[in-house]
Amino acid sequence: MNLFIYKPNDFFARCIPLCYVMGAIPKEATDPNLKARIGYRVYSVILLGSALFFNSATFYKLFEMIIRRDYVEKIITNYMLASLHLAGIIKSLMTKSKKGGWLLSRMIEFEKKVYKSNDKHILTLYRRNIQAFRSLSGWYFVGIVIVVACYASSSIFRPKEFMIHGNETIEVKQVPMMIISPFDQHDQHMAAFFWSTCTGGFLAIYFVTGDLMCFGFTIFAFCQIDILKYFIENFSKKSQEIQNYHRCEPGHAFRIVQRECIIMHQDIIRYVEELNASMKYLMLVDFLPGSIQIASLLYQLMNNLNAIQIVLLGIFIITLIIRLHIYCNNANKITLESEMIGDIWYQSDWTEMPLDVQRNMMICIARTQKPLTITVADFQNASLATFVAIMKATYTYMMFLTTF
């Protein structure tokens, strides 16, 4: 029995094995063998349970720091890391859920249809989106690895801190992330430093896994829209091909192509609605503390202003900003692309089509007047305006923190 058997997918490529190793892949993409599924489920529960335990330990340490009224910088830094890791774990759990399984199954089935079509233009469109996602995921993964390395090493270059212990003043030895540890931070500093780094790295992998899967799900949405737009733009050409192949009347050929376009549009609508149902509360968990997270890093940078810290923490800040922009930009693109479908229907040569096809086209255009959206809970649509609002809130929190 091999636990590590999964259904391959060209779109996600290396993200599928990463997600699988982290125990976050849904059962729809695992080995159909019952024993293998049970074995993987146990493996998954152990890994995800460990991640939740370590993240809970971080929040418990945060609670301890608040109770003893520790430095504000330490409290907000610990909150920033704990909230980021929690968002990553929740996204990984979403990927593993039934809704995540449905989204992934939809992608696998759609990819099979694309390759089966043997249409060069459709394959080109699909591979272009695949390449866009692979480039994004590759750079993002490398960026997070650099961030983890930089943040772990940044604690070495922070200014020394001291505390009074009895009649002595001793140096407070620092670690990358404050977490409950089996090692004493002062007497066993190297072991505590290694424990903190490894725990933070383990949680960071869940953070990356959740983000990459969510990026892929959103990019796949406008990948489908691109292919639908191609069909509509070439409506007459596709109808002529069907007419020549089946030797049928032009009106019948128009109806066949329109039916396929309507079915494809309905599938896209359902996909985006399911995606939004899965992600809207994740967006709230992510976006709500997003400005606080960036502000806390900026505050930490201001209090440890030197060339090394500017580089190490600056990379972290830039990565968080880019990450939020990716989410907002992808959601904004889904909305804009879905609105364009109606324009493309209108620009087609509808005058030569039968009346029933024209009436159906009007219904299709009317449906696009309600654009597809990814929302932040049920409050507002995620868009580039949301990104600007987060940046404005970051400035507000930054000004607030400087008053302490």
356 to each of 233, 247, 351, how far by Cα in Å?
19, 21, 12
Tell me phi and psi for residue 169, to 5 degrees. -110, 115
Q: Is 69 helix (H, G, I), strand (E, B) or coil?
A: coil
Q: What is the DSSP string of 126-185?
A: HHHHHHHHHHHHHHHHHHHHHHHHHHHHHGGGSPPEEEEETTEEEEE---SS----SS-T
Q: Crossing angle for the helix pair 250-287 and 355-367, nearest 10 degrees?
A: 10
Question: What would the two tokens of residue 51 be?
Answer: 């991640």
The whole-model pTM stands at 0.85
Sequence spans of domains, the chain: 15-401
What is the model's pLDDT at position 167?
59
Most confident of 35-39, 99-103, 218-222: 218-222
Question: For 50-81, how does the pLDDT look when each residue is reduced to its tens digit (9 = 90+)?
Answer: 888 888 888 888 887 788 776 676 777 778 78
Whether the predicted pLDDT of 271 surpasses 90: yes
The answer for residues whose C-beta is within 8 angstroms of residue 286's C-beta and 6 or more apart is 87, 324, 327
- Rounded Cα distance, 266 and 180, in Å: 50
Tell me phi and psi for residue 342, to 5 degrees. -60, -40
List the beta bridge partners of residue 30: 6
Question: For 275-327, how does the pLDDT look when each residue is reduced to its tens digit (9 = 90+)?
Answer: 998 888 888 888 887 787 788 778 777 776 667 667 777 788 888 888 899 99
What is the model's pLDDT at position 31?
58
| Strand 168-172 with 375-376, pairing | unpaired
The answer for residues whose C-beta is within 8 angstroms of residue 282's C-beta and 6 or more apart is 87, 90, 91, 94, 214
Whether the predicted pLDDT of 159 surpasses 70: no
